[in-house]
Structure formats: structure tokens, C-alpha cells
């Protein structure tokens, strides 16, 4: 049985907890896997390091990616995800505090599917997460699993 889950890449425990709460409030049913830095996120996705032996066919339905991360930053993680056949089609939503133009441009040019700024106002944040869930987990049709698109 395939496991439906979201990968949340977030180093700030407060943001992690709040994001979890917002997802719960928005009635997201999926499991949530948390990676606390860029390296861990890649280890998880590619079954390396502490995740050695993990079934990498099990890919998240959605990746929520913070940009400012220890070790590897979000943009590098994004680039690695996009350059690997196993993960190149995964929807990645950049979820960050930054509204700097350069971050937005860099994210999209490295293949982010969406860019959402985490607002300070928690009510707005919940609203954003609701929209996110509706679009990516309900409306969006993901690419078929296990099939490669020829380019």
C-alpha cells in the first residue's frame, strides 16, 4: 500500500510546529515527514546516510521547502531534486520568510512549482496553507509514478 506523505524541510522547530498545526487545521490527512536541514532532506529522498535502505520509490506527494537551512540551503536542495530522475517531477513549494526578489527569481529558475511567503500573521498563514492544500493535494494532477517522461 502506497504511503501518501508530505516532506517538510524546516530547521526552525517553532516554524515546524506551527506548520504542522496549520496543516492539521487545514485538515491535511497526509503523513508529514520532517527533514531539519538540506542534507537530511536529500538523504531522505535518495536513501543515503541515516536513510540508507529506505525505499526511494516512496516519494512525497509534495515537498515544502524552506530556503534558509543549515548545511545545504534550500536552493541547492531544489537543484539536486530537479537534477535527479527519481525526484525531478516532484512538486516543490518554497515556503519561506523571505520576500526578496532574488530568492523568488532563483527559486523559480531552479524549478520551484510555487513560492509562498510565510506571513507573520498566523491567521494568514493558515489561509495560505489551506490554499496550498487545496491546490497541490486536491486539484493538482501529479505525474504518474514510476513512469518517465521522455524529453
Q: Which residues of this chain interact with other proteins, rule CB under 8 A? A: 12, 14-15, 18, 21, 68, 96-100, 118-123, 125
Pick the closer one to other proteins by CB: 19 or 87.
Answer: 19
The least CB distance from residue 124 to other proteins, in Å, is: 9
Pick the closer one to other proteins by CB: 10 or 61.
Answer: 10
Pick the closer one to other proteins by CB: 68 or 145.
Answer: 68
The least CB distance from residue 71 to other proteins, in Å, is: 16
Pick the closer one to other proteins by CB: 36 or 61.
Answer: 36
Q: How far apart are the first and last CA of the chain?
A: 30
> How far, in Å, CA of 83 to CA of 110, rounded?
10
> How far, in Å, CA of 66 to CA of 10, rounded?
6
> How far, in Å, CA of 82 to CA of 44, rounded?
15
The least CB distance from residue 83 to other proteins, in Å, is: 26
Grid cell locating 130: 489551506
The least CB distance from residue 114 to other proteins, in Å, is: 19
The least CB distance from residue 121 to other proteins, in Å, is: 5
Pick the closer one to other proteins by CB: 45 or 132.
Answer: 132
Q: How many CB atoms lie within 10 A of CB 113?
A: 17
> How far, in Å, CA of 88 to CA of 139, rounded?
20
The beta-strand segments (E) located in the chain are 5-9, 31-35, 62-65, 92-96, 114-117
Amino acid at each position: 500500500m502506497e504511503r501518501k506523505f508530505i516532506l517538510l524541510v524546516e530547521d526552525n522547530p517553532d516554524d515546524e510546529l506551527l506548520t504542522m498545526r496549520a496543516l492539521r487545521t487545514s485538515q491535511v490527512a497526509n503523513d508529514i515527514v520532517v527533514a531539519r536541514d538540506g542534507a537530511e532532506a536529500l538523504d531522505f529522498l535518495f536513501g543515503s546516510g541515516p536513510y540508507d535502505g529506505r525505499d526511494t520509490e516512496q516519494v512525497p506527494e509534495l515537498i515544502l521547502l524552506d530556503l534558509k537551512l543549515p548545511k545545504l540551503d534550500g536552493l541547492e536542495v531544489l537543484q539536486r531534486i530537479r537534477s535527479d530522475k527519481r525526484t525531478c517531477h516532484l512538486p516543490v513549494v518554497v515556503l519561506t520568510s523571505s520576500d526578496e526578489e532574488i530568492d523568488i527569481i532563483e527559486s523559480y529558475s531552479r524549478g520551484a512549482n510555487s513560492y509562498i511567503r510565510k506571513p507573520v500573521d498566523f491567521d494568514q498563514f493558515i489561509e495560505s496553507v489551506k490554499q496550498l492544500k487545496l491546490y497541490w493535494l486536491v486539484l493538482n494532477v501529479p505525474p504518474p509514478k514510476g513512469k518517465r517522461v521522455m524529453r
